[in-house]
Amino acid sequence: MSDADRAVAETVRRWRESAEQGGLVLLDGFHTIKHALRFGADVTIVAADDPARVRALAAELAPDVEEALARLLLPGDLKVLLPRVHPTGVAALAVRPDPDAARAALERMPRTSPVVVLDNPRNLGNVGAVVRLAAGFGATGVVTRGDLDPWHPNVVRAGAGLHYATTVDRVTLDTLPPGPLYALDPEGEDIRALTLPDDALLAFGSERHGISPELRARADHLVSLPMRPQVSSYNLATSVAMTLFHWGGPVDPA
């Protein structure tokens, strides 16, 4: 076995040992790793089929994380480690944030930006897109109700690692963060006539069924988005983007 083969085998061994410990999140692809590092994730191992190519990507696209990535980067065989290899040929494992700390961040009042509530979402990619939007707008966080794990690898991939730039958690009806609940519903008041407060909970229903009856009953306000007659609905991420844009709070420059 060559030195290169031994290095790859050692990376595979370390990766599998780390994964067995639990509590880690798969970061799949360069941009996911870039954002996780940029926003303070505790990345434990990075494996790449071609480390030199990944270093070149970092130098070109994210020089602010180039040094941190280079320290972690190891040669690996991603086909052995993953069911699907990202086109950038790199993946990592990072520590999942402490759920108690996440809950405390969501419950802290007063808030300067809303929390997005996804009521029983079904599509992993949609949830990741919402996390990406929430991070971009500077929302306090995204919480989900239901059995979908908002830290599922496909959600983190669709969110481009921006789970680490906001707070992401799963809640029940009884553990919703505090704040006035604005539920998006076709029968609600036109959002253009409203000012959404910074401490709002902005609730969006599932892609198929909309807001659940129990969450609708808890809502302080029902809000509707302008939409052409006979058009059924917007995509979930589109609805979240329109609502956060209407909120229009300042994006934290930090």
Q: Tell me the CATH number at 221.
A: 3.40.1280.10
Q: Give CA–CA dist 94/226, Å, rounded.
A: 40
State the average pLDDT over residues 183-199. Answer: 94
- Express the helix, strand and coil content of the chain in percent, nearest 5 each: 45, 20, 35
pLDDT surpasses 70 at 49: yes
Q: What average pLDDT does the segment 48-76 reach?
A: 96
- Average of per-residue pLDDT across 86-108: 94
pLDDT of amino acid 249: 62
Is residue 204 a part of any domain in this protein? yes
Q: Which of 95, 119, 145 is a domain's end point? A: 95
Within a domain: residue 89?
yes
pLDDT classification of 250: cutoffs 50, 70, 90: low
Which of 69, 95, 121 is where one domain is finished? 95
Do residues 166 and 90 share a domain?
A: no
Is 60 part of a structural domain of the chain? yes
Query: Is residue 253 in a domain?
Result: no
> What's the pLDDT score for residue 253?
47
Averaged pLDDT for residues 32-42: 97
Range from 3-12, 66-75, 107-116, 179-188 carrying the lowest mean pLDDT: 3-12
User: CA-to-CA distance for 34 and 247, rounded, in angstroms?
Assistant: 28
Which of 8-12, 29-33, 115-119 has the weakest average pLDDT?
8-12
Residue 48 maps to a domain: yes
Tens of pLDDT along 218-233?
999 999 999 888 887 8
Percent of the chain with pLDDT over 70: 97
* Residue 254 belongs to a domain: no
Mean pLDDT over the full length of the chain: 93
Q: Is the domain of 183 the same as that of 214?
A: yes
Average pLDDT over residues 119-134: 96
Question: Which ranges constitute the DSSP H helices of the chain?
Answer: 3-21, 30-38, 51-61, 63-72, 78-81, 99-107, 124-137, 153-158, 213-218, 236-247
pLDDT band at 242; cut points 50, 70, 90: very high
- The reported pTM is 0.93
pLDDT number for residue 9? 92
* Domain of 103, in residue numbers: 99-247
The answer to whether residues 239 and 127 belong to one domain is yes
Quick one: 105 and 31 in the same domain? no
Structurally, the chain folds into a number of domains equal to 2
